[in-house]
Amino acid sequence: MAVGWHRPTKLVIDTQAIKENVCNEVKRMPQGTELFAVVKANGYGHGAVQTAKAAIEGGATGFCVAILDEAIELREAGITEPILILSVVDVSYIELLLKYDLSVTVATQEWLEQAIEQLNHIGTQIPLKIHIKVDTGMGRIGFITPKEVKHAVALIASTKMLAWEGLFTHFSTADEKDVSYFEKQTQRFQAILSVLLELPRYVHVSNSATALWHPDNVGNMIRFGIAMYGLNPSGRVLPEVYPLKPALSLVSKLIQVKELSVGEGIGYGNTYTTTENEWIGTVPIGYADGWLRRLQGFSVLVNGEKCEIVGRICMDQCMIRLPKQTAIGTKVTFIGNDHGEEITMQMVADKLETIHYEVACTFSERMPREYK
Please give the annotated binding residues, written as ranges.
Answer: 140, 315
Burial 304-327 (b: 16+ CB within 10 A, else e): eeebebbbbbbebbbbbbbeeebe
Whole-number Å distance between alpha carbons of 290 and 363:
4
**Which residue ranges are tagged as binding site for substrate?**
140, 315
- Sequence-separated (6 or more) residues with CB below 8 Å from residue 350: none
Whole-number Å distance between alpha carbons of 125 and 128:
9
Whole-number Å distance between alpha carbons of 316 and 82:
40
Q: Which residues are catalytic?
A: 40, 268
Whole-number Å distance between alpha carbons of 297 and 51:
32
Burial 29-40 (b: 16+ CB within 10 A, else e): beeebbbbbbbb
- In 222-368, where does DSSP find H-type helix? 345-352, 356-362
Helix 48-58 vs helix 68-76: crossing angle, to nearest 10: 70
At 313 the three-state DSSP class reads coil
Backbone φ and ψ for 4, nearest 5 degrees, come out as -85, 65
Residues constituting the chain: 372
- Sequence-separated (6 or more) residues with CB below 8 Å from residue 81: 56, 60, 61, 62, 63
At 131 the three-state DSSP class reads strand
Residue type, 204: H
Backbone φ and ψ for 272, nearest 5 degrees, come out as -135, 135
The answer to whether 142 and 134 are in contact (CB under 8 A) is yes
Give the CA count within 13 Å in the CB-facing half-sphere of 230: 19
